[in-house]
Amino acid sequence: MKKHKEILSRFGINKTQFRIDLLSIFFDCKSSLTTHEIFERFNKKINKVTIYRALKSFEQKGLIHQVPDKNNLKKYSLCNLDSCSPDSHNHQHGHFICYSCDQTFCLDDSTIKIIKTSSGHIVKNYNLILEGYCTDCNSSQTIFQN
Amino acid sequence: MKKHKEILSRFGINKTQFRIDLLSIFFDCKSSLTTHEIFERFNKKINKVTIYRALKSFEQKGLIHQVPDKNNLKKYSLCNLDSCSPDSHNHQHGHFICYSCDQTFCLDDSTIKIIKTSSGHIVKNYNLILEGYCTDCNSSQTIFQN
DNA sequence: TAAGAAAACGCAAAAGTGTTGCGTTTATTA
DNA sequence: TAATAAACGCAACACTTTTGCGTTTTCTTA
| One-letter amino acid of B26 | F
Contact call for A135 and B127, based on CB within 8 A = no
Q: Is residue A146 part of a domain?
A: no
Give the separation between CA A80 and CA A73, rounded to whole angstroms. 22
Q: Is residue B128 part of a domain?
A: yes
Give the separation between CA B114 and CA B53, rounded to whole angstroms. 34
Q: Are A97 and A130 in contact (CB under 8 A)?
A: yes
Structural domain boundaries enclosing A46:
2-132
B145 pLDDT higher than 50:
no
At B13-28, the pLDDT tens digits run: 999 999 999 999 999 9
Instruction: Report residue B141's pLDDT band, with 50, 70 and 90 as the boundaries.
Output: very low
Q: Comparing C-alpha atoms, which of B70, B82, B75 is closest to residue B129?
A: B70
Q: Is residue B138 part of a domain?
A: no
Q: Where are the beta strands (DSSP E) in A21-142?
A: 32-34, 64-66, 75-78, 94-98, 104-107, 122-133
Instruction: Report residue A143's pLDDT band, with 50, 70 and 90 as the boundaries.
Output: very low
Q: What CATH code is carried by the domain that includes residue B83?
A: 1.10.10.10
Instruction: Report residue B108's pLDDT band, with 50, 70 and 90 as the boundaries.
Output: low
A24 pLDDT higher than 70:
yes
Q: Which nucleotides of D are covered by protein (CB under 7 A)?
A: 6-12, 16-20, 25-27
Residue B146 confidence (pLDDT): 34
- Chain A's closest residue to B144, CA to CA, is A116
At A49-103, the pLDDT tens digits run: 999 999 999 999 999 988 777 777 888 988 877 777 777 777 667 777 777 766 6
Q: Where are the beta strands (DSSP E) in chain A?
A: 32-34, 64-66, 75-78, 94-98, 104-107, 122-133
At A89-110, the pLDDT tens digits run: 776 677 777 777 666 677 765 5
State chain A's mean pLDDT as an integer.
80
- Chain A's closest residue to B94, CA to CA, is A128
Terminal C-alpha separation, chain B: 45
Q: Are B55 and B73 in contact (CB under 8 A)?
A: no
SS3 A20: helix
Burial of A87 (0-12, 13-18, 19+ CB in 10 A): exposed
State chain B's mean pLDDT as an integer.
81
Contact call for A128 and B127, based on CB within 8 A = yes
At B57-88, the pLDDT tens digits run: 999 999 999 887 767 778 898 887 777 777 77
Half-sphere exposure (Cβ direction) of B137: Cα atoms closer than 13 Å? 17
Instruction: Report residue B118's pLDDT band, with 50, 70 and 90 as the boundaries.
Output: low
Q: Is residue A17 part of a domain?
A: yes
Say whether residue A2 is in contact with chain B using an 8 A CB cutoff.
no
Say whether residue A103 is in contact with chain B using an 8 A CB cutoff.
no
Q: Is residue A65 part of a domain?
A: yes
Q: Are A132 and B117 in contact (CB under 8 A)?
A: no
Provide the 10 A C-beta neighbour count for residue A80: 16
**Distance in Å, residue A21 CA to nucleotide D3 C1':** 28
Q: How many domains does chain B have?
A: 1
Say whether residue A76 is in contact with chain B using an 8 A CB cutoff.
no
Half-sphere exposure (Cβ direction) of A82: Cα atoms closer than 13 Å? 1
Q: What number is the average pLDDT over the span B35-49? A: 96
DSSP annotation of B62 reads T
Burial of B14 (0-12, 13-18, 19+ CB in 10 A): exposed
Q: Is residue A109 part of a domain?
A: yes
Q: Is residue B98 part of a domain?
A: yes
Q: Is residue B82 part of a domain?
A: yes
Give the separation between CA A105 and CA A120, rounded to whole angstroms. 31
